[in-house]
C-alpha cells in the first residue's frame, strides 16, 4: 500500500499561505512504521506501556475538573539555526523563547480552554511545567551557569532531509525536550516532532527534538517575533504565515512529543470535505486506529487518535469554522453532530486553537511516565530568580562640533545600571568603550572630524538587555559639518628683531615665546601649548595677521606650540627654553689686605668697609641686574659716610657679548661692612641671595702699606742718625 503524506509541496517562489501543510509528524511516523521494523517494534512496545498507564489514570483519578495538584517537569533547551547575530538580537530571541514557554505552560496547565470538559487537572494525572534550563549545561555548549539554555549558530540543530524538516537525537542535550528553530523549508511546514518522543533514548528512529518553523515560534508580544526571519531565514513571517503568531504550533508539536496524534484522519488541505491526496500514504493509513479506519477515513465511525473524548473526524479543519473562537461547525464524519474544532491537535488558526480534552491529557501524562528520562528541575534549574536586565533605556544626543572644529562629540545616556553592558564608540571614538555600571549615567564619546560617520554599539555579556539596546536611539549617524576651509597661510615664531624670542619673563621664573600667523582669521582655530601658564595676544579664530604670547614656567625645558582647529594644519613651533637663571660669585671676599678696603682716618684708621668683586652671570644678553634687598648695607663706592644702596637700584646689565660658557656677565666692585649679613640681586627671571662671609679677622687699625713702611723705616733711620749726630756733637763739646 502506498504511504499517504499529509503535506503538499510548494513550488519555489510561490507564496506560502495559511493552507500550507502544517505538520509532518504523522507522515514521517507512518513511513517509519512501514519501512523500519526496529522502529515499529519499539513504538508498539512503548504504546503497550502507555496503554496500561493511561487505563490506570482513567480508572483511578476523578474527573472533577479540579486544578492541578502536581506538575510534571519538562526541561527545555532551544536551539536557533543561524549565525552572525548581535548581542541585542540574541537577547531578543532568548526572550522570544521564554515567550513561547509561557504559551506552553498556559496550554498544558489548563488555562486556555474555556469549554467543558477541562483537560489538564488532577483527573488527567497532572499538569506539565515547561522551563528553559539555567544550570548544569552540557560541556562545550558555551552557555554560562545561570544563563538560559538557548544556543545559536546551528551547532545543535537537525539537518533537513529530502522531505524537509527532520527531527534528530541530540546526544549532548539528552534529557531535554529540545526545540530547534529553523528557517521555513520549501514545503512551508510549520513544525514536526516524534510521535511519542523519548528525551534520553538514542534508540533507532527516536528523537528528542521538536523542529519549528521560525515564523510559527513565539508570539507577537515580543519585539523580534513579528518578523523573526530577520534573524532566521529570509521570509516575511507576517506576509506568509499571518495566522500562526500565537505560539499554538509549538503547543501542537509538543503534543506529538507527548504521544498525541492528530484529531483527524486526513488533511483536507485547507478545504473541508476535500479528499485530494497529496502524498504517498493511501486512504486510512494516516489513522492511528487502523482497525476502525482500515477501509479509509470516510466512515462516520472513524476515531483516528485513539482518544475517546475527541469526536471522530475525517478531515482537518483550517481557519476558524463557525466564525468565532467558541463556535461550532458540522462534523463531516458525523453529519448533524456539532464539531468542536478548537483542539490543539487540529489545524485551525492559532487564535482558535485553545483546548485539549481530558482524554488527551491522560494520554500525554501516560506517555511522559512511559519515557522517564527527563532531567529534574533540581538538576537544571536555578532556585533563585533568573538574572534580569537592570537598564530601562539607552539614548544618544545628536553630534556636536568642538570649539576648534577638529572633532565632534556624541553623548550616550542610560537609565538604570548594569555592569554587564558595554557601550562601544566604534571608529576613532574616545574613550573606546564604557560600561553602564554607573546608575543613570552618561558618557561623552569624541570623534575626529575625519570620521565621516559614527556607529555606537551595545553589547551584553549576559545577553539580557538586547531589547533595551535595540530600542536605543541616536546610536549611529553622520558626522556634523564642523567649520569651513582654513584661511591662515603661515604659522611660525615671530621674527621681530626688537624682541628676544624666547624672552625671559620680567622678575619671575618664566619665559615667553612669541608666535605669529599670516592670513585668517579661521573660524575655530586656536593656539594650544602643553604646559603653558597663559596664552595672550591675538586669537587666530577672530584675528588675522597677528601675534600670540605663550608663557611657560622655567621648569618646562622645551616648548611645543600648535595652531589647531578651523580645519588648519601646521607643524608645531618647538624649541628649548632660554637660560634665564642667574649665577653669582664673589672674588676674594673680606680680604684684609685688599688695598681698596676703606678705613676711617678720622677714627684712628679703623676698617669700616670691605671691598669685594661681584660677578653676575645670566643666560640672557643685555639683561638688567637689580639690587633686590640690602640687609648687608652694601654700597657701590668707597665713600666714607656714604649711604648704602637702596633696594631696586640698578647695578648694571650683562652686555651683549657672551663668555666662552655662553653666559652674559656683569662684573662690579662693591663694599660692605664687616657684618656678614644677607643681600640679594635679581634679573628679570631669578632672585639670587648672597651672604658676604669674611674668612679672617682684620685689625681695626689700618696696617701700613709697603711704601708707608719704607717711609717709616727711612724716618727711623733719619731719627737714629740725628740722635747719633747730636750725641757725637755733645761728646765733642765736652771734650773741648
Q: Answer whether residue 158 shows pLDDT above 50.
A: yes
pTM for this model (two decimals)? 0.52
How many Cβ atoms from other residues are within 10 Å of residue 171's Cβ? 11
Task: Count how many residues are written for the chain.
Answer: 736
**What's the rounded mean pLDDT across residues 472-477?**
81
**What's the rounded mean pLDDT across residues 721-733?**
72
Phi-psi region of 493 (alpha: psi -120 to 50; beta: other; left: phi over 0): beta
Distance CA 537, CA 529 (A): 14
Q: Name the least confident of 269-278, 396-405, 564-573, 645-654.
A: 269-278
**What's the rounded mean pLDDT across residues 9-15?**
28
Share of the chain above pLDDT 70, in %: 73
The residue assigned the cell 588648519 is 568
Q: Angle formed by the axes of helices 248-257 and 87-107, to 10°?
A: 60
Distance CA 220, CA 654 (A): 90
- Copy the grid coordinates of residue 327: 463556535
- The 3-state DSSP class for residue 84 equals coil
Q: DSSP per residue over 204-228, as a string? A: TT---EEEEEGGGSSBTTSTTTTTG
Strands, E assignment, 387-466: 391-396, 400-401, 407-416, 418-424, 433-436, 442-448, 453-455, 457-460
H or E segment and range at residue 38: helix 37-60
Q: How confident is the model at residue 131 (pLDDT cuts 50, 70, 90)?
A: very high
Selected residue with higher pLDDT from 562 and 4? 562
The per-type count for the chain, helices as H runs and strands as E runs, is: 10, 33
Best CA proximity match to 380, nearest among 665, 168, 77: 77
The per-residue pLDDT for range 245-264, each reduced to its tens digit, is: 788 899 999 999 999 988 87
Q: Answer whether residue 602 shows pLDDT above 60.
A: yes
Strands, E assignment, 57-126: 71-80
The residue assigned the cell 628683531 is 497
Best CA proximity match to 428, nearest among 457, 402, 455: 455
What burial letters (b/e) apply to 466-501, b meaning 16+ CB within 10 Å? bbbbbebebbeeebeebbeebbbeebeebeeeeeeb
Give me the chain's average pLDDT, please: 76
Q: How confident is the model at residue 208 (pLDDT cuts 50, 70, 90)?
A: very high
- The 3-state DSSP class for residue 652 equals strand
- Copy the grid coordinates of residue 155: 551547532
User: Which pLDDT value is given to residue 257?
Assistant: 94
- Copy the grid coordinates of residue 617: 652671570
User: Could you tell me if 50 and 58 are in contact, meaning their C-beta atoms sit under 8 angstroms apart?
Assistant: no
Q: Where does 586-705 have alpha helices with state H? A: none
Provide the β-strand partners of residue 387. Answer: none
Amino acid at each position: 500500500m502506498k504511504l499517504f503524506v499529509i503535506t503538499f509541496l510548494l513550488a519555489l517562489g510561490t507564496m506560502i499561505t495559511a493552507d500550507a501543510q502544517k505538520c509532518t509528524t504523522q507522515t514521517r511516523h507512518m513511513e517509519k512504521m512501514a519501512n523500519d521494523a526496529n522502529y515499529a517494534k519499539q513504538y508498539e512496545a512503548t504504546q503497550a506501556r502507555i496503554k496500561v498507564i493511561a487505563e490506570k489514570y482513567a480508572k483511578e483519578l476523578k474527573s472533577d475538573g479540579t486544578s492541578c495538584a502536581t506538575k510534571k517537569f519538562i526541561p527545555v533547551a532551544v536551539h536557533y539555526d543561524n549565525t552572525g547575530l548581535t548581542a541585542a538580537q540574541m537577547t531578543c530571541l532568548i526572550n522570544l523563547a521564554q515567550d513561547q514557554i509561557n504559551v506552553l505552560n498556559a496550554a498544558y496547565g489548563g488555562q486556555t480552554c474555556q469549554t467543558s470538559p477541562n483537560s489538564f487537572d488532577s483527573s488527567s494525572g497532572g499538569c506539565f511545567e515547561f522551563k528553559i534550563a539555567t544550570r548544569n549545561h552540557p560541556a562545550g555548549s558555551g552557555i554560562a551557569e545561570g544563563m538560559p539554555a538557548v544556543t545559536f549558530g546551528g551547532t545543535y540543530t537537525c539537518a533537513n532531509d529530502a522531505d524537509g524538516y527532520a527531527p534528530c537525537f541530540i546526544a549532548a542535550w539528552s534529557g531535554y525536550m529540545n526545540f530547534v528553530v529553523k528557517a521555513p523549508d520549501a514545503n512551508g511546514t510549520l513544525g514536526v516532532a516524534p510521535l511519542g518522543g523519548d528525551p534520553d533514548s538514542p534508540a533507532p528512529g527516536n528523537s528528542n527534538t521538536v523542529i519549528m518553523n521560525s515564523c510559527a515560534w513565539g508570539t507577537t508580544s515580543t519585539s523580534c517575533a513579528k518578523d523573526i526571519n530577520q534573524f532566521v531565514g529570509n521570509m516575511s513571517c507576517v506576509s506568509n504565515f499571518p495566522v500562526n503568531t500565537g505560539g499554538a504550533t509549538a503547543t501542537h508539536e509538543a503534543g506529538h512529543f507527548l504521544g498525541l496524534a492528530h484529531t483527524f484522519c486526513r488533511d483536507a488541505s485547507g478545504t473541508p470535505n476535500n479528499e485530494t491526496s497529496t502524498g504517498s500514504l493511501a486512504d486510512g493509513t494516516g489513522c492511528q486506529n487502523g482497525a476502525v479506519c482500515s477501509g479509509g477515513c470516510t466512515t462516520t465511525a472513524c476515531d483516528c487518535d485513539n482518544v475517546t473524548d475527541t469526536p471522530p473526524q475525517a478531515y482537518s479543519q483550517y481557519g476558524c469554522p463557525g466564525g468565532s473562537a467558541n463556535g461550532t461547525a458540522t462534523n463531516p464524519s458525523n453529519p448533524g453532530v456539532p464539531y468542536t474544532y478548537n483542539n490543539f491537535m487540529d489545524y485551525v488558526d492559532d487564535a482558535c486553537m485553545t483546548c485539549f480534552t481530558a482524554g488527551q491529557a491522560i494520554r500525554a501524562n501516560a506517555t511522559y511516565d512511559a519515557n522517564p528520562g527527563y532531567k529534574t528541575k533540581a538538576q537544571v534549574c536555578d532556585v533563585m530568580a533568573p538574572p534580569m536586565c537592570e537598564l530601562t533605556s539607552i539614548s544618544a544626543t545628536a553630534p556636536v562640533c568642538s570649539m576648534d572644529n577638529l572633532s565632534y562629540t556624541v553623548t550616550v545616556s542610560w537609565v538604570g545600571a548594569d555592569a554587564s553592558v558595554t557601550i562601544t564608540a566604534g571608529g576613532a571614538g574616545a574613550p573606546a568603550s564604557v560600561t553602564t555600571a554607573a546608575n543613570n549615567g552618561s558618557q561623552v564619546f569624541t570623534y575626529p572630524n575625519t570620521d565621516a560617520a559614527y556607529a555606537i554599539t551595545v553589547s551584553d555579556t549576559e545577553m539580557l538587555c538586547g531589547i533595551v539596546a535595540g530600542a536605543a536611539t541616536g546610536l549611529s549617524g553622520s558626522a556634523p559639518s564642523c567649520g569651513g576651509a582654513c584661511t591662515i597661510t603661515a604659522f611660525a615664531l615671530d621674527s621681530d628683531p626688537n624682541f628676544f624670542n624666547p624672552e625671559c619673563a620680567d622678575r619671575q621664573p618664566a619665559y615667553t615665546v612669541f608666535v605669529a600667523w599670516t592670513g585668517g582669521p579661521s573660524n575655530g582655530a586656536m593656539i594650544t601649548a602643553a604646559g603653558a601658564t597663559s596664552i595672550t595676544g591675538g586669537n587666530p579664530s577672530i584675528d588675522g595677521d597677528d601675534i600670540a604670547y605663550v608663557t611657560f614656567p622655567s621648569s618646562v625645558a622645551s616648548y611645543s606650540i600648535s595652531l589647531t582647529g578651523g580645519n588648519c594644519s601646521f607643524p608645531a613651533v618647538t624649541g628649548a627654553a632660554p637660560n634665564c637663571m642667574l649665577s653669582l660669585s664673589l672674588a676674594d671676599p673680606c680680604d684684609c689686605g685688599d688695598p681698596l678696603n676703606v678705613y676711617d682716618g678720622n677714627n684712628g684708621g679703623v676698617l669700616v668697609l670691605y671691598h669685594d668683586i661681584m660677578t653676575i652671570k645670566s643666560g640672557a644678553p643685555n639683561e638688567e641686574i637689580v639690587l633686590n634687598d640690602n640687609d648687608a648695607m652694601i654700597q657701590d663706592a668707597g665713600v666714607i659716610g656714604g649711604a648704602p644702596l637702596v633696594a631696586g637700584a640698578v647695578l648694571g646689565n650683562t652686555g651683549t657679548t657672551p663668555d666662552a660658557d655662553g653666559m652674559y656677565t656683569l662684573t662690579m666692585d662693591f663694599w660692605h661692612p664687616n657684618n656678614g649679613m644677607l643681600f640679594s640681586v635679581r634679573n628679570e627671571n631669578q632672585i639670587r641671595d648672597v651672604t658676604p662671609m669674611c674668612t679672617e679677622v682684620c685689625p681695626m687699625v689700618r696696617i701700613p702699606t709697603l711704601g708707608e713702611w719704607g717711609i717709616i723705616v727711612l724716618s727711623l733711620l733719619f731719627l737714629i742718625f740725628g740722635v747719633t749726630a747730636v750725641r757725637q756733637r755733645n761728646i765733642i763739646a765736652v771734650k773741648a
